[in-house]
């Protein structure tokens, strides 16, 4: 299944990059955002998760239950950056590995303002709580 997504369709966008589907840390972070999606809706914010995986990998991951390392029911889109053009545009692509760093970009529609953070994917911790960042979008 393919869905065309334009950033201009949303007032605020939380663009979250992760390296690859089925990595142990990724489902924890993605589930965190999914379980709190209604909080993002209240502040007129769309969540988009991006990786270099194909739409087929995303589909398999969503169809796998959480208890088995999958995502289960997801309330927002996973974006396939198989061409790596998005991760390169946001300057978080690791060319020798062919993946993106974990990165979080808070974007405001019609504005050049954004807040960004990124980290080495192998140094992220399951306890990292991105919750404070979701409120930062309102300040843009």
Residue 121 has pLDDT above 50, yes or no: no
pLDDT tens digits along 47-88: 888 999 999 988 888 898 888 888 888 888 889 999 999 999
| Residues designated as active site | 26
**pLDDT for residue 56:** 93
Using CA atoms, how far residue 70 sits from 63, 66, 113, in Å, is 7, 4, 34
**pTM for the whole structure:** 0.73
CA torsion, ordered 136, 119, 99, 21, to nearest 10 deg: -70
What CA–CA distance (Å, rounded) separates 19 from 4?
21
pLDDT at 132 over 50: no
Choice between 29 and 132, residue whose per-residue pLDDT is larger: 29
Mean pLDDT for the chain overall: 76
pLDDT single digits (tens) 85-116:
999 998 989 999 999 888 888 888 766 556 66
H-helix or E-strand spanning residue 78: strand 78-80
Instruction: Evaluate if residue 32 carries a pLDDT over 60.
Output: yes
3-class SS of residue 87 = helix
């Amino acid at each position: 299944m393919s869905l065309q997504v334009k950033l201009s369709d949303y007032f605020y966008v939380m663009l979250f990059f992760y390296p690859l589907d089925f990595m142990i840390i990724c489902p924890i972070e993605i589930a965190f955002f999914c379980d709190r999606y209604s909080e993002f809706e209240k502040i007129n914010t769309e969540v988009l998760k991006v990786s270099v995986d194909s739409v087929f990998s995303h589909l398999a991951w969503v169809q796998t239950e959480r208890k088995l390392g999958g995502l289960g029911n997801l309330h927002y889109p996973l974006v396939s950056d198989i061409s790596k053009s998005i991760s390169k545009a946001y300057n978080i692509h690791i060319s020798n590995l062919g993946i993106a760093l974990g990165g979080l970009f808070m974007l405001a529609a019609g504005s050049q303002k954004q807040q960004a953070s990124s980290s080495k994917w192998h140094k992220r911790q399951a306890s990292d709580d991105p919750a404070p960042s979701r409120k930062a979008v309102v300040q843009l």
